[in-house]
Amino acid sequence: MSEATTTDLYEVTMALSYLREGMSGPATFSLFVRDLPPERGFLVAAGLESALEYLSGLHVGPEDVEDFAAALHRPPDELRPLLGLEFTGRVRAVPEGRIVLAGEPLLEVTAPLPEAQLVETYVLNRLSHQTLIASKAARCALAADGRPVVDFSLRRTHGPQAGFQAARLGAMVGFAGTSNVAAATATGTPAVGTMAHSYVEAFPGEEEAFRAFARTHPGPLTLLVDTYDTEAGVRVAARVLRDLDRGTGSAVRLDSGDLGALAVRARALLDDAGLPDVRIIASGGLDEYAVDDLMRSRAPIDVFAVGTRVGVSADAPYLDSAYKMVEYDGRPVMKLSSAKVTAPGPKQVFRRPGYADVIALADERPPGDGTPLLETVMVGGRRTGGRPTLDDGRARFAADLDGLPPAARRVRAPVAPRATVSGRLAALAADVRRRIEERMSAAGPRPPHAGPTARGPLRPAAHRPVSR
């Protein structure tokens, strides 16, 4: 079984039908997020590299055909038209690390229709999940306002692969380290970690545990101080660190309770013990909201360790993303379903100062103060350049963040910029809509149960077209 079978069944049924009907003309599909999740002022594009790796290696082999046939309860010979299918198309996409807005294409695929259809599920999965997690992590880094944030999410993410991506994407948007050894090794991110409560419990007391840990680890130590009584644990840790002259670079970790109040008390105890250089690390159910609260209370916390809530984006666990056909065989197409109207034609997004972005047709010239976001990253089923590095993504994110309006950066009640559509795109949408409605009218009366013809706004909604 190959990754070709990692798809929804209806992608297989549609691709097979297209092949049998001789419908292999070029089709363009656009992947975008309709609306941002609640309390989000922006998204960070991510997942492109995973998608390109899949596309460049896609090949439907004999075992895949047998699996498709078994899923459909049909003889394998009937699925033979799919045998040997590979991705031979073109991909234009927003590079990883760039900030994007609702309605803006993250990626557009142009390929023979059966190919472009079959890859929908996998590509959507990769970009949707990773864009979601990168955006959540970016908000944590913003909330920390320059203080280090580290990733502790692996043990509760939805699978090891998701944990790896959480660590990688955190590093892209500013995290200082990760507890995930595999991710740290693969990405060159610092590996960070302390000890668990079980370690402390395995010894007769905290002092024995801390001294044993120090004997094994000669460098700076991070001691978990809240297994029993937090203040008592801080006192024991201070005594051990002072006796061993291991204060510089070391830390105590608070993992439960009122972290703000405990951090204040811990700081006082450490300072009184002559250990002003010992840092305080906070963990335990943190996300950008908790970090923001602690920062606003001026809690003396030096490092924030975020885990579960960030690794699964607990407050907004999915994106309202879509992969929709916008052109087939040179004919622009669009969807008119209520509240899900799509815009026809291949597109480009032009970034303008203040994020006054314009979604335009792909062949439009940029406005004088606009630069294109989508780049050609694959032609003929092969990448057009080398594999970008994590540092490339970091640089893109940092540059885009500098220009993001302060209201969009807020943790609470952010105001997200909204792109407008160009005059040409709006005109094309109106023309395609008119043609569809004329065909529907010519087809005769609609059945009684059918709803009214959709007249929802062209996404992004509620914005005047920009004359171009």
pLDDT, tens digit, 9 for 90 and up, residues 403-445: 999 999 999 999 999 999 999 999 999 999 999 999 888 887 6
The mean pLDDT of 240-267, rounded to a whole number, is 96
pLDDT at 361 over 90: yes
Residue 444 pLDDT: 73
pLDDT band at 2 (very low <50, low <70, confident <90, very high): confident
When the pLDDT of each residue in the chain is averaged and rounded to a whole number, the result is 94
pLDDT at 441: 87
pLDDT over 90 (residue 368): no
- Asked whether the predicted pLDDT for residue 447 surpasses 80, the reply is no
pLDDT band at 42 (very low <50, low <70, confident <90, very high): very high
pLDDT tens for each residue of 142-171: 999 999 999 999 999 999 999 999 999 999
What percent of the chain stands above pLDDT 90?
90
Quote the pLDDT of residue 455. Answer: 44
Q: What is the pLDDT of residue 414?
A: 97
Q: Is the pLDDT of residue 451 over 50?
A: no
Q: What is the pLDDT of residue 442?
A: 86
For residues 221-241, average pLDDT = 97
pLDDT at 463: 41
Tell me, what's the pLDDT at 299? 98
- Report residue 87 as tokens: 């991705």
Task: Find the mean pLDDT for residues 337-357.
Answer: 93
**Sign for the pseudo-dihedral over CA of 363, 106, 51, 150:** positive
